[in-house]
Amino acid sequence: MTESANPERVLLHYLDQESDLCDIENYVADGGYATARRVLGDMSPGDVIDTVKESGLRGRGGAGFPTGMKWGFVARDTGKPVYLLCNADESEPGTFKDRLLIENDPHQLIEGMILSAYAIGSEKAFIYIRGEFRKGYDILCRAVEAARAQGFLGEKIFATEHAVDIVVHLGAGAYICGEETGLIESLEGKRAHPRIKPPFPAVQGLFGCPTIVNNVETLACVRHVMEKGPAWFKGIGPERSPGPKLFCVSGHVNKPGVFELPMGTSLRELIEVHAGGVANGRALKAVIPGGSSVPILSADEVDLAMDFDSVAAAGSMLGSAGVIVMDEDTDMVATLRTIAHFYHHESCGQCTPCREGTGWLETILLRLESGEGTEGDIETLYSVAGGMMGTTICALSDAAAMPVRSFLDKFRDDFLGSLAAVEG
């Protein structure tokens, strides 16, 4: 197995750098903030949006929505402020990339945010960081203060007429705060109950004002798109899903971790080369390619390019690129039950199908796990999951239901075996 051509690491540049990039002086010495200074001086906001559109950058938060296009939806001339929100709530099981970016290279994110805020006409941006990320919060607060002291944040930044400031907000610890409208509600000081759409945040978001929510990694990418140009970005990985990408590999591998690789790197390469292969010499059984919310793949499906479109074509999703590897000894019933427990625990409880369905799924799976399930339970799981898909306010319900159907489809024998164990 050969490694795909690995261009320089940009997002994880801190790994190849001796000095501590949390220190603004080191970041500036390394060329940091030069892009923001140049762009705010020379380019119009519209040009920045066009550049990002041209780069083909798609959101790294899960859905892969084209970033430039999203920015284009911001309602103009409303007389209201526009807000940029950085989604740093990273709570999807199997996902731990944003935390690295925050803790090791906060200015990369801040610079990306300055550029993005400038593009959409936002003078005030927020970083909503997961409640448990206390360390990252402290680092970000210090970094924002340092940037402000340098005149990179605040009024008249980089000696231009432009203003961009950042507020770092520590969340209160719920998975649903990562859903963009849940995040907005939470930032407004309310329960993180996702909002019905329309209206979309780009029209009516934070405090009723036009708002863009982007993931940490997305905003970090913006910094490099603006520095190196759209052609550079588009030249990495597949044309329709380009760019450098962070893959989080966890589970039964020898070398779990976060790897920066081109979009479209094969899943097999990711597991076997970068993550050091399946641990303890065991065989691979299954992989969840994009965080706990996406359909599972079986061992024979790993010759797959890890980009948004290819993974979707294989019936799953790239999601947050949280790759969870399972070896041959993995108990699929227990694994699915663990996942179901997570969604049962995290459902905000607004929508009937999600509120009731997540609990029902776990109840049935607990019964199967304890060997008391019946074949009817398996059919019920299918139909409960069916009723939860496409019927709710946010995608948490789908996220809870999709794994269930794929586990049952691909590992049906494991589930049937859990019944036979008591009956036979």
Ligand X SMILES: Cc1cc2nc3c(=O)[nH]c(=O)nc-3n(C[C@H](O)[C@H](O)[C@H](O)COP(=O)(O)O)c2cc1C
Residue (222 or 294) nearer to ligand SF4, CB: 294
| Beta pairing, strands 322-327 & 244-251 | parallel
288 φ/ψ angles, rounded to the nearest 5 degrees: -95, 120
- Integer-rounded Cα Rg, in Å, for the chain is 22
- CA angle 389/391/393 to nearest 5° reads 110
Determine how many CB atoms are found less than 10 A away from the CB of residue 390: 11
* Residue choice 95, 310, 316, 392 for contact with other proteins (CB under 8 A): 392
The DSSP letter of residue 393 is S
Q: Does 358 bind other proteins (CB under 8 A)?
A: yes
- Judged by DSSP in three states, 247 sits in strand
The tokens describing 332, both together, are 């699929």
Q: Is 380 in the site for other proteins (CB under 8 A)?
A: yes
The yes or no reply on residue 330 touching ligand X (CB under 6 A) is no
Q: Using the rule CB under 6 A, is 89 a contact of ligand X?
A: yes
| Closest separation in Å from C-beta 396 to ligand SF4 | 4
Interaction of residue 359 with other proteins, rule CB under 8 A: yes
Based on the shown chain and the rule CB under 6 A, indicate whether residue 401 belongs to the binding site for ligand SF4.
Answer: no
Site string for other proteins, 176-205 (x = CB under 8 A): ---------------x-x--x-x-------
- CB-wise, 333 or 393, nearer to ligand X? 393
The distance of closest approach from Cβ of residue 396 to ligand X in the complex, given in angstroms and rounded to an integer, is 4
Written as one string, the DSSP assignment of 130-180 is: -TT-HHHHHHHHHHHHHHHHTTSSBSSGGGSS--BEEEEEE--S-GGGGSH
Q: Contact 272/264 with Cβ under 8 angstroms?
A: no
Give the interface segment with other proteins, choosing from 54-62, 87-95, 284-292, 343-351 (CB under 8 A): 343-351
Q: Is 90 in the site for ligand X (CB under 6 A)?
A: yes
Selection from ligand X, ligand SF4, other proteins, none that 241 binds (CB < 5 to 8 A by kind) is none
Residues 195-234 interacting with ligand X (rule: CB under 6 A):
213-215, 218
Distance between CA atoms of residues 157 and 164, nearest Å: 7
Q: What x/- string results for residues 162 through 201 when contact with ligand X is judged by CB under 6 A?
A: -------------xx-xxx---------------------
How far is residue 137's CA from residue 143's CA, in Å, rounded to a whole number? 10
Q: Tokens for 2, please give them.
A: 């050969």
- CA 372 from chain centre, in angstroms, equals 37
From the list other proteins, ligand SF4, ligand X, none, pick the one residue 380 interacts with, judged by a Cβ distance below 5 to 8 Å according to partner type: other proteins
399 lines the binding site for other proteins (CB under 8 A): no
Could you tell me how many residues of this chain bind ligand SF4 (CB under 6 A)?
14
Exposure string over 308-332, b if 16+ CB within 10 A, otherwise e: bbbbeebebbbbbbbbbbbbeebeb
> Contact residues for ligand X (CB under 6 A)?
59-63, 65, 70, 87, 89-92, 175-176, 178-180, 213-215, 218, 394-396, 399
> Contact residues for ligand SF4 (CB under 6 A)?
176, 194, 347-351, 354-355, 392-394, 396-397
